Amino acid sequence: PKKVILDVDTGPDDAVAIIAALLAPELEVVGICSVNGNREVALTTDNTLRVKALMGADVPVYRGCEYPLVATLTPGRRPGIPRREGQIRPTGSRIQGDHLPFPATDLTEEPESAVTWLVDTLLHAEEKITLIPVGPLTNLAVALRAAPRIAEHIEEVVLMGGGHRVQNTTPMTEYNVWVDPEALEVVLQSGCKVTVVPLDATMECYLTQADADEIRGFGGPGAEAVAFLVDEWLRDYRDDPAMKGYPGVPVHDALAVCAAIDPSILTDLRPVCCHVDIAGGYADGQTCLDLRARLEKEGANCLFAFHADREKFAATLKKILKNG
């Protein structure tokens, strides 16, 4: 199996991604790092440990960075983050609160910080490791700044973040990149092979009520948890006028995991030159693509997935959950 490290800010779709990665025979999860993102890092770590406990998994969890690299240092630039416990609690939702609705656990994170562990593990790895960050890129950016040679030990970075035509946080930004724009820019300039799985792809890869029902039928803690999360998420969307007409729920982070297993799920995957707007203005955190033809050959710093195959994604996820 392919050795992978997950980097998560565990909310519902990160949970699906973790479950899929733990169950997929194609992947060996070496460790899971948490980061500030969907919630403050204490909560994303706790949620990650709940998923680990639910799955009975023997995988170490490392707590990562509490703050973005730069974005919260300027007063007013990021007023809402890091989100503190109880700060944002959408009424009625069972999956968008501080804690995922899985049993609390006595499991604890490892004593080492995520960044220290990442550096040590990568520098001493006998084979290259694939990184799958599905939250803000803070941990990897700090690790790359602290020990640039880790880049030589990274097989590929398959990250969920950014958007070209699709955004979800400000008019120009996707959430993970909005939280820590500078961190993605560090990763894009690192020389690592980077595959970007943006909203353009993840919003095409929704799961429906029929998918949830089928997945529940597989049985087992992983499939049942995924079916439960999708059910609840669908319920939230039914009450959300902004999602009216959208045929399901997008489990963004699970697409990155499935793409690490089978890149052909990402269709229209093109080499592009991508930089992040870090100027602090209206488009702060935007993933800006240079699509001029010349740069596809010369200046590309990532592969960017403009589309993805929903049927293939759903089939891959179901196969993992069925056999898990």
Q: Which of 255, 286, 29, 26 is nearest to 173 (CA)?
A: 286
DSSP reduced 3-state for 40? coil
When asked if residue 277 is in the footprint of ligand BDR (CB under 6 A), the reply is no
153 included as an active-site residue: no
Q: Which of 12, 13, 14, 11 is nearest to 39 (CA)?
A: 11
Per CB under 6 A, the list member of 134, 207, 215, 317 interacting with ligand BDR is 134
Q: Which of 198, 126, 179 is nearest to 9 (CA)?
A: 179
In angstroms, give the least distance from the CB of 312 to ligand BDR: 20
Please report which residue ranges of 84-220 form alpha helices under DSSP H. 114-123, 138-146, 175-179, 181-188, 199-202, 209-218
Judged by beta carbon, residue 34 or residue 190, the one nearer Ca ion is 34
Q: Residue 155 class from Cβ within 10 Å (0-12 exposed, 13-18 middle, 19+ buried)?
A: middle
Spot the catalytic one: 153, 252, 275, 307.
252
For the record, the structure tokens of 192 come out as 């690592």
Per CB under 6 A, the list member of 175, 218, 233, 237 interacting with ligand BDR is 175
Angle (nearest 5°) at CA 289 between 75 and 177: 35
Judged by beta carbon, residue 6 or residue 119, the one nearer ligand BDR is 6
Q: Which of residues 55-84 bind ligand BDR (CB under 6 A)?
A: none
**# residues near ligand BDR by CB under 6 A:** 13
Instruction: Report the DSSP beta bridge partners of residue 154.
Output: 129
When asked if residue 257 is in the footprint of Ca ion (CB under 5 A), the reply is no
Judged by beta carbon, residue 135 or residue 324, the one nearer ligand BDR is 135
Cα 314 to the center of its chain, rounded Å: 17
When asked if residue 285 is in the footprint of Ca ion (CB under 5 A), the reply is no
When asked if residue 200 is in the footprint of ligand BDR (CB under 6 A), the reply is no
Cα-based torsion angle of the residue sequence 90, 198, 264, 60 in order, rounded to the nearest 10 degrees = -60
When asked if residue 182 is in the footprint of ligand BDR (CB under 6 A), the reply is no
175 interface partner picked from Ca ion, ligand BDR, none, CB below 5 to 8 A per type: ligand BDR
In angstroms, give the least distance from the CB of 41 to ligand BDR: 14
DSSP reduced 3-state for 50? helix
Q: Is the peptide bond before 136 cis (omega within 30 degrees of 0)?
A: no
Per CB under 6 A, the list member of 4, 5, 11, 78 interacting with ligand BDR is 11
When asked if residue 14 is in the footprint of Ca ion (CB under 5 A), the reply is yes
For the record, the structure tokens of 307 come out as 């589309």
* Cα 227 to Cα 239: distance, rounded to the nearest angstrom: 19
* Cα 272 to Cα 149: distance, rounded to the nearest angstrom: 24
When asked if residue 13 is in the footprint of ligand BDR (CB under 6 A), the reply is yes
When asked if residue 176 is in the footprint of ligand BDR (CB under 6 A), the reply is yes
Judged by beta carbon, residue 40 or residue 153, the one nearer ligand BDR is 40
Q: Which of residues 155-174 bind ligand BDR (CB under 6 A)?
A: 160, 168, 174
Per CB under 5 A, the list member of 134, 150, 158, 184 interacting with Ca ion is 134
Name the DSSP letter for residue 84: P
Per CB under 6 A, the list member of 39, 164, 252, 310 interacting with ligand BDR is 252
- The residues binding Ca ion (CB under 5 A) are 9, 14, 134-135, 253
